[in-house]
Structure 1
């Protein structure tokens, strides 16, 4: 089958993205039932917070190993396995009778979730040419934001109708069914191998890792993803609602609506930025523009002493979400910069940068808030210094994208050396 000219590639695209939609919704869905977990299991907020966040730690830690496995054995098996593990973990979560079981279930879900992005990028790079890939990777990024959106009001309605156990059970069953469907689409219908057999003499993983860790382009991609992802996911997913409530005196409902505005920005930004980049036939220039834009937005919080006018706050939340949509361009650069035999590892390495910042920012931000509350008795001043964190992260991102090379002259030579064309 000629993959990149086959109409079947759109079936692949739809199937993989729908699986990503459901899997990404389960990253944040447990945050909806924090109070119910505390009551049902008689545990503290800190315990529930650890159970909720463990998935992100597992996800981040497995990105590079997942890239190595994807390059070695192909993306089909790993994506199918990941959907299955996420489904099983979600079902175990729904049946939990002890907080330890919740913890194990989220670890299992995190392992499954760690497979999705790296292998989805590889599958799309195999089925679509470079120009289509640059445009469609934006839609893939939008799907992740849609997953976060699905885990708000729609999943809340499901929880209200079925209870939290019933809602998570349904999600787990759906994911297991999707894994069966993916096997049919990716393997049976497309007549592809479940596990890709190596067609060439491959280098040792340690040799490839040493080369990547000493590669300026790989580190540039790591840092540009670090800068654009952490501020959005780290802040919006943890401190945005408390910030609006504490500084502006808003209710939780109004504060949550601001999160929706940011999500809408991300939904619009991801496909639009990919389309703009594809039309301009350049990735670096629009990526630099959006990195600068996001940096300026975070800096405005400092300029207004953590308290910009409310109308400006709405605009800032939207633009930060919109700028976050550009993060998919990182993987478009990976696609054009590295041979297919190393795409998985570099994708995992770059994605590690993004989620490392998403893990670090809430902790640093929270530490600064605790410090100011303990020394001055007021938490408000802590937000001002807390906003230094996304500003600094964004500066790292801007440095990364400036040093990023849009086309590598040695990429062709490296691919030829391994016998695999770009």
Structure 2
């Protein structure tokens, strides 16, 4: 089969999936055809027929489990500024706009490295990429711990952002390389759930540590725990199951061509729109403004604010594995789930900012935060599943990177705009100030929800067997 024919077949397979039993029968009828590495979609010199998909099983869960612990720690580092925001403001004598630069520059680096990170995931492999990311986070957290000035602290957060950029894509990549497609939604959702637990650990527990042992010991300890994960990745993580050939002979195209290829397919564009609306509000709260919103906006004491934010993040997590397994078994549910999440989250925040006389009652604000947390932890199982539709399997890294860029680019804009608007009003002085500050977030969420609705009109259904 020529390379051009092979590429056309891969694209067609993404748009009109072939049932797994028919694919296996074709493989048996054509033993002389170059085999394709399951999960990679790459040509191999090995002409022995291989299984159509990775087998999954205990070894796959061990590999993914190690990688997802790395993601947990990356989320802890990424979102630690929410609990540390007010202490950082005092430590570095910084206003709201300058303070927002700590997480925002970290996220800018994170977003900027999504495409290079996606290319690295496709070419170097998940294991090597995770090791590079861990090394950067170890150094960044240590630098942040001992930073004497805001400028040095920002440098530490930039290093963390670079390391963080290499983690999630490779955890998702390992899920695609080690598990069959029918289990991918569950693995993606569990990845989001573990990330949500990392967010939780960065609020109340981190706040308690900061108050108990202080700034430097807390963040040095986080650096040390991250260093231990380097050893675990070296020992346990492998790029693909034994017997599945490496993608050494896969055709490589330019980064520009990879981006164009992904943007021409509707699946990645749907994933981008969904990620922008479903994960942005809670992520913005987690990286910086959630804790101040509850403490300064709703008037709660620090301990209660931390516990409430933690409970709001934990509450929806029990539903995530169930919903993911349901969508994995019944792919037709992706569309209603995506639209329901998008409009519920965006309209919920519209109600918060439009509530007359200040923030809504605490129960209503907490409900919107819980719904947003549900959107953030469910978003990966939907957004990244859509991102694979129509894409050659060996180039899903770039499509996933675009989806992640869309979500976190929106987070950067919303977080920065909130800081600027708070400063313009004299700081985070109360509920009305936060209502004004969150108007840009609501505008972006409503826009993304509308784009998602248009893109999902007449979207082809995916079968449980196929891509």
- What is the aligned-residue RMSD (CA, Å)? 3.3
Partner of 1:413: none
Structure 1 pair 244–95 and aligned structure 2 pair: CA distance change class (3 A): closer
2:383 matches 1:326: no
Structure 1 pair 291–97 and aligned structure 2 pair: CA distance change class (3 A): closer
Partner of 1:300: 351
Partner of 1:229: 279
Note the C-alpha offset of 1:98. Answer: 5.0
Offset from partner CA, 1:77-133 (integer Å, 9 cap, x none): 111211122123223333445544433322222111100111111111111111211
Note the C-alpha offset of 1:292. Answer: 2.1
- Structure 2-normalised TM-score? 0.76
- Once residues 450 and 289 of structure 2 are traced to their aligned partners in structure 1, the CA distance between those partners, rounded to angstroms, is 26
Structure 1 pair 181–226 and aligned structure 2 pair: CA distance change class (3 A): same
| Structure richer in helix, relative to its length | 1
2:409 matches 1:359: no
Structure 1 pair 118–74 and aligned structure 2 pair: CA distance change class (3 A): same
Residue among 372, 390, 393 paired with 2:441: 390
Contact 2:295-2:302 at 8 Å conserved across structures: yes
Structure 1 pair 182–298 and aligned structure 2 pair: CA distance change class (3 A): same
Contact 1:87-1:175 at 8 Å conserved across structures: yes
- Once residues 169 and 92 of structure 1 are traced to their aligned partners in structure 2, the CA distance between those partners, rounded to angstroms, is 9
Note the C-alpha offset of 1:160. Answer: 5.3
Contact 2:349-2:442 at 8 Å conserved across structures: yes
Contact 1:73-1:196 at 8 Å conserved across structures: no
Partner of 2:33: none
- Once residues 31 and 242 of structure 1 are traced to their aligned partners in structure 2, the CA distance between those partners, rounded to angstroms, is 8
- Once residues 89 and 439 of structure 2 are traced to their aligned partners in structure 1, the CA distance between those partners, rounded to angstroms, is 33
Partner of 2:14: none
- Once residues 70 and 188 of structure 1 are traced to their aligned partners in structure 2, the CA distance between those partners, rounded to angstroms, is 10
Partner of 1:264: 314
Partner of 2:259: 209
2:395 matches 1:342: yes
- Once residues 387 and 66 of structure 1 are traced to their aligned partners in structure 2, the CA distance between those partners, rounded to angstroms, is 30
Deviates more, 1:68-77 or 1:7-16: 68-77
Deviates more, 1:43-52 or 1:324-333: 43-52
Task: Give 5+ residue unaligned stretches, structure 2.
Answer: 1-49
Deviates more, 1:183-192 or 1:393-402: 183-192
Contact 1:232-1:321 at 8 Å conserved across structures: yes
Note the C-alpha offset of 1:351. Answer: 0.4
Contact 1:82-1:113 at 8 Å conserved across structures: yes
Structure 1 pair 340–224 and aligned structure 2 pair: CA distance change class (3 A): same
- Structure 1-normalised TM-score? 0.84
Structure 1 pair 94–380 and aligned structure 2 pair: CA distance change class (3 A): closer
Partner of 1:150: 201
Residue among 140, 148, 152 paired with 2:191: 140
Note the C-alpha offset of 1:232. Answer: 1.8
- Once residues 140 and 170 of structure 1 are traced to their aligned partners in structure 2, the CA distance between those partners, rounded to angstroms, is 24
Give the SS at the match of 1:342. Answer: helix
- Once residues 254 and 19 of structure 1 are traced to their aligned partners in structure 2, the CA distance between those partners, rounded to angstroms, is 29
